[in-house]
Chain A
Amino acid sequence: MTPIVELKGATKDFRGIAAFSNVDFRLEPGEIHALLGENGAGKSTLTKVIAGVHTLSSGKLFVDGEEARLATPAEGLAHGIAMVYQENSLVPSMSVAQNIYLGNEKFLNRLRGIYISAQQFLQSLNFHVDPSAIVGSLGAAQKQMVEIARAVHHKAKVIIFDEPTATLTPEEKGYFFKLIRKLKEDGVSIIFISHALEEALMIADRITILRDGQVVASDVTAGFDRQKIIHHMVGRTLTDDIYSDRQRPPRKRGRKIVSVENLSMGKMVRNTSFSLYAGQITGIFGLVGSGRTETLKVVCGVLKRDFFHGGEVKIDGEPKRYLVPAPAVRDGVVYVTEERKAEGFFETMSIAENIYMGKIGGEAFGGFRTVSMREARQSAEIWRKRLNIRAIDPDAKVIELSGGNQQKVVIAKALVQTPRLVIFDEPTRGVDVGAIAEIHAFINQLADEGIAVCVISSYLPEILALSDRILIARQGKVVEEMDRRVATEEAIMYAAVH
């Protein structure tokens, strides 16, 4: 059988830096093909070449056995190849139905008509999304569903999913996998990029693993297990599974650093109360819409608290109402964002400049001091070593680093401000396996040093591995507290969904 998509000797480089080189890849018709690898391994770029977002530097791309040169995503679509992006590529100001039909509108476009057909289409996919809702008002998971619906609607022969399940709840994931299987029955070929190995093992027919821009393994799924995949991904066996550190006794709570009392804000935070203690990691789990990120953003001043809602945030027993993050940072409360690219680092600056900016930005009169690149390099060097930030070139812009190294820079930039409380929001999202272990070890080290650490995560194994104490948020409120010794994935999920 001719493969529907084939790459032969494919190489792509950006300004001389190879994203992948000399890759051979085959996608058979009606196959679910999982593409795995650490961040920076070249997965995203490889699929973007297939979808026509990038063109190959050298090598050949065959579609349906014929050599093709796809210069734009539109040409990719014309060849029946659609891509569902990691970052949303929807138009936020348009309705769901308009987004699904975007680019496929009839010359005379009747809104009512497309709402009705979009409604039927979404129901056939078992997606519960209102077709007349404005996309900007939807949650992350629903946006993802609309993305998927759009790709399916284009009647693509090949659909590429880049991290499709990262923002979905377990229930939605179930629907998503059903949908993928149904697409497969209809003869659609699927490429599926994921960091969740279990998902790949469960759903894929064939798995290809990339490492540093090379294919290191490609076989039917039966030939793999979790350990073997990780071995191929990182080129070493992680002897102790990074999420299995369950035996450690919980740390004793230190001084109370933050107490939140009956805090409310808008529709996202509803009358919630909890405390955070020094020398301990508090894990906060919640599903999409549980308001956990919003609550902690209010605590550290990133979100301005409105005056209509009540409640109190006390730092060291003193009531505080931060309007902007600056005074919170001076009080030693820092926030490590989940949106690394949007608000995590300065992309035109080097690693050293980024970390140094954290330092002078955190000082009380940081603006009224002199700065020097030498000092920047010195303080950056300390953090580079502590966090093992790897860059070929120390003056490289942070945007040129891999996800894991970017995240380490963001963390260093916050920690250089000598905080007493660090709030990590999804600290390992979009980070490769090796860096996850390093970041986890570092977070543990912080708590051992007596800093109050708060970790927000949607990934249960991460919560279980890191937390000394687990808070579970539901509908804008912290509803339950668990000790690490008694917490299980099932118990946490039970508290989170009810």
Chain B
Amino acid sequence: MAASDTIPKQAPRRSLRHIALTQELIVVAVSVVLFVFFAVALDGFLSSGNILNFIRNVAILGMLSLGMAVVVIGRGVDLSLIAVMAVSMTLAIVLANKGYSFPMALAAGLLFVVAVAVVMGFLIAYVEIPAIFATLAVSAIVYGMGRGVIATLDVNNVPDGLDWFIYLGRGSLLGIPMPIWIFAVTALLLSLFLRKTGLGRFIYAIGDNISTARITGIPVRPMIILQYVIAAVMAFLAGCVTAASIASMNMRMVNSTLIYDVLLVVILGGIGLTGGRGGVRNVLVGTVLIGLLLNGMTILDISFIVQNLVKSTVLLCALIVDAILNPRDEQTSQQGDI
């Protein structure tokens, strides 16, 4: 014991962080390999049209994943992201088409998103419904409202003459497309929020151990609601970028496998489902890898069904790696007793 009394200033050994880093490195390395492979093997891959398409999809996937990441770090999950994104934008577009000014319509969409998230967070935090079921149910309700109450058609077009809005999806600044700018700015803000504010640290604390967080005096239940509000706002922003780049919003995307892609990004990037781990950096590497994979498969003209098979296999592998790298079995939870 005597020898361990002297504590060096800098850590000589950071075992757990080291492992997290290697998982990130693996993902980065695989991404690079994939990129080079696609660039060499696929004709259309490096064409400007494809790169733009790739970037737009990556930005939307990335923003959704940022929202999901916040919730997963707090040991929750939000399956309603896609429904919230599609229906809130549809609401904004429908209102705009009815003659409201577009900023007003967007504000209404945002209000809708926050209201849904607060109700959902309340159900999870206070009524104590498991997150996976609460968000699934809310997702179905929101989609139903979208199809039945808000709009009559699946696809709703953004009204003409909104050049500033379309610029958010199709324009570019300093040669870099706007979606990437928006993604970068939101990632930066969220990263600062998670790492540099008390609220951000509280989310990690709750994800790590909710009972400890409670005894420590952290307002656990309001924090859970906040988590879902942040995720929903991210979904709304992703919806804005989607609508701006294709000038419409298609509610049928709720029935797509997009939500699984989002989960795939979060888990593959190294944010453990057990909560309290990971950050924005993990989302970035995960987004790039999954974005590349999806884009490459689309160019290769792999059928939708086979694509799903590949994605789900990758998801399963990521879950296995997560379980191996972040074990929460008896052995680790009792290491204090060695």
Residues of A near any B CB (own CB < 8 A): 14-15, 17, 19, 39-40, 42, 44-45, 53-54, 86-87, 212, 302, 324-326, 328-330, 334-335, 337, 341-349, 356-358, 360-363, 365-372, 384, 390-395, 397, 399-403, 406, 413, 417, 434
Indicate the size class of the contact surface on chain B. 35 or more
A403 touches B335 (CB 8 A): no
Write out the residue numbers on chain A whose beta carbons fall within 8 Å of the beta carbon of B13: 392-393
B324 at the A/B interface (Cβ < 8 Å)? no
B98 at the A/B interface (Cβ < 8 Å)? no
B276 at the A/B interface (Cβ < 8 Å)? yes
A368 touches B1 (CB 8 A): no
Write out the residue numbers on chain B whose beta carbons fall within 8 Å of the beta carbon of A86: 337
A403 touches B337 (CB 8 A): yes
Stretch in contact with the other chain, from B154-162, B216-224, B235-243, B259-267? B216-224
B49 at the A/B interface (Cβ < 8 Å)? no
Q: How far is the CA of A1 from the CA of B115 in the complex (A)?
A: 76
CB distance from B278 to the nearest CB of A (A): 10
Q: Which residue from chain B places its CB closest to the CB of A394 in the assembled complex?
A: B7
Q: How far is the CA of A400 from the CA of B16 in the complex (A)?
A: 11
Q: How far is the CA of A480 from the CA of B225 in the complex (A)?
A: 45
Q: How far is the CA of A391 from the CA of B215 in the complex (A)?
A: 24
A329 touches B217 (CB 8 A): yes
Q: Which residue from chain A places its CB closest to the CB of B17 in the assembled complex?
A: A395
Top 9 A-B pairs, shortest CB-CB distance: A329-B217, A343-B211, A395-B11, A361-B216, A367-B199, A19-B338, A346-B208, A367-B198, A361-B217
A346 touches B277 (CB 8 A): no
Q: How far is the CA of A89 from the CA of B14 in the complex (A)?
A: 32
Q: Which residue from chain B places its CB closest to the CB of A12 in the assembled complex?
A: B338
Q: How far is the CA of A249 from the CA of B250 in the complex (A)?
A: 79
With A40-B338, A367-B198, A395-B14 known to touch, is A361 a contact of B213 (CB < 8 Å)? yes
Write out the residue numbers on chain B whose beta carbons fall within 8 Å of the beta carbon of A403: 336-337
With A14-B335, A399-B333, A402-B336 known to touch, is A346 a contact of B212 (CB < 8 Å)? yes
B152 at the A/B interface (Cβ < 8 Å)? no
A357 touches B196 (CB 8 A): no
Q: How far is the CA of A384 from the CA of B333 in the complex (A)?
A: 23
Write out the residue numbers on chain A whose beta carbons fall within 8 Å of the beta carbon of B12: 393
Contact of B217 among A19, A330, A395 (CB under 8 A): A330
B276 touches A348 (CB 8 A): yes
A325 touches B217 (CB 8 A): yes
Contact of A343 among B16, B201, B209, B335 (CB under 8 A): B209
- The 18 sampled A-B contact pairs (Cβ below 8 Å) are A39-B336, A44-B337, A53-B330, A324-B214, A337-B215, A343-B214, A345-B212, A346-B212, A356-B201, A358-B216, A361-B218, A370-B197, A371-B195, A391-B4, A394-B8, A399-B333, A401-B336, A402-B336
Q: Which residue from chain A places its CB closest to the CB of B16 in the assembled complex?
A: A397
B255 at the A/B interface (Cβ < 8 Å)? no
Q: Which DSSP category, helix, strand, loop or mixed, fits chain B's interface?
A: helix
CB distance from A469 to the nearest CB of B (A): 26
Contact of B1 among A334, A367, A372, A390 (CB under 8 A): A390
A368 touches B197 (CB 8 A): yes
B14 touches A329 (CB 8 A): no
B270-304: CB near A (< 8 Å → 1, else 0) gives 00000011000000000000000000000000000
Write out the residue numbers on chain B whose beta carbons fall within 8 Å of the beta carbon of A54: 331
State which residues 296-338 of B face A: CB under 8 Å: 330-338
With A19-B338, A417-B217 known to touch, is A392 a contact of B208 (CB < 8 Å)? no
B163 at the A/B interface (Cβ < 8 Å)? no
B116 at the A/B interface (Cβ < 8 Å)? no
A325 touches B208 (CB 8 A): no
A399 touches B215 (CB 8 A): no
State which residues 1-52 of B face A: CB under 8 Å: 1, 4-5, 7-8, 11-17
Q: Which residue from chain B places its CB closest to the CB of A326 in the assembled complex?
A: B217
Q: How far is the CA of A429 from the CA of B145 in the complex (A)?
A: 55
A325 touches B214 (CB 8 A): yes
A345 touches B338 (CB 8 A): no
Q: How far is the CA of A50 from the CA of B213 in the complex (A)?
A: 37
B180-206: CB near A (< 8 Å → 1, else 0) gives 000000000000000111111110110
Write out the residue numbers on chain B whose beta carbons fall within 8 Å of the beta carbon of A347: 208-209, 333
CB distance from A465 to the nearest CB of B (A): 23
CB distance from A166 to the nearest CB of B (A): 13
Q: How far is the CA of A87 from the CA of B216 in the complex (A)?
A: 24
Contact of B336 among A342, A348, A400, A434 (CB under 8 A): A400
Q: How far is the CA of A363 from the CA of B336 in the complex (A)?
A: 29
Q: How far is the CA of A356 from the CA of B200 in the complex (A)?
A: 13
Q: Which one of A302, A348, A363, A417 has the greatest number of beta carbons of chain B within 10 Å?
A: A348
B198 touches A368 (CB 8 A): yes
CB distance from B280 to the nearest CB of A (A): 16
Write out the residue numbers on chain A whose beta carbons fall within 8 Å of the beta carbon of B199: 367-368
With A367-B199, A372-B196 known to touch, is A393 a contact of B333 (CB < 8 Å)? no
B216 touches A391 (CB 8 A): no
Q: Which residue from chain A places its CB closest to the CB of B226 in the assembled complex?
A: A367
Q: How far is the CA of A367 from the CA of B8 in the complex (A)?
A: 31
CB distance from B114 to the nearest CB of A (A): 18
B216 touches A329 (CB 8 A): yes
Q: Which residue from chain A places its CB closest to the CB of B216 in the assembled complex?
A: A361
Write out the residue numbers on chain B whose beta carbons fall within 8 Å of the beta carbon of A366: 198, 202, 218
A361 touches B277 (CB 8 A): no
Contact of A42 among B4, B7, B277, B338 (CB under 8 A): B338
CB distance from A52 to the nearest CB of B (A): 13
CB distance from A484 to the nearest CB of B (A): 29
A406 touches B336 (CB 8 A): yes
Given contacts A86-B337, A344-B212, A346-B205, 15 further A-B contacts (CB under 8 A): A39-B336, A39-B337, A40-B338, A326-B218, A329-B216, A346-B204, A347-B209, A358-B217, A360-B198, A361-B213, A371-B196, A371-B198, A395-B11, A399-B336, A400-B336
Q: How far is the CA of A14 from the CA of B332 in the complex (A)?
A: 9
CB distance from A158 to the nearest CB of B (A): 20
B336 touches A341 (CB 8 A): yes
CB distance from A83 to the nearest CB of B (A): 12
CB distance from A316 to the nearest CB of B (A): 18
A362 touches B216 (CB 8 A): yes
Q: How far is the CA of A362 from the CA of B196 in the complex (A)?
A: 17
Write out the residue numbers on chain A whose beta carbons fall within 8 Å of the beta carbon of B336: 39, 341, 399-403, 406
Write out the residue numbers on chain A whose beta carbons fall within 8 Å of the beta carbon of B221: 324
A413 touches B216 (CB 8 A): yes
Q: How far is the CA of A366 from the CA of B213 in the complex (A)?
A: 13
Write out the residue numbers on chain A whose beta carbons fall within 8 Å of the beta carbon of B338: 14, 17, 19, 40, 42, 44-45, 402
Write out the residue numbers on chain B whose beta carbons fall within 8 Å of the beta carbon of A395: 11, 14, 17
Write out the residue numbers on chain A whose beta carbons fall within 8 Å of the beta carbon of B208: 346-349
CB distance from B46 to the nearest CB of A (A): 41
Q: Which one of B204, B220, B337 has the greatest number of beta carbons of chain A within 10 Å?
A: B337
Write out the residue numbers on chain A whose beta carbons fall within 8 Å of the beta carbon of B212: 343-346
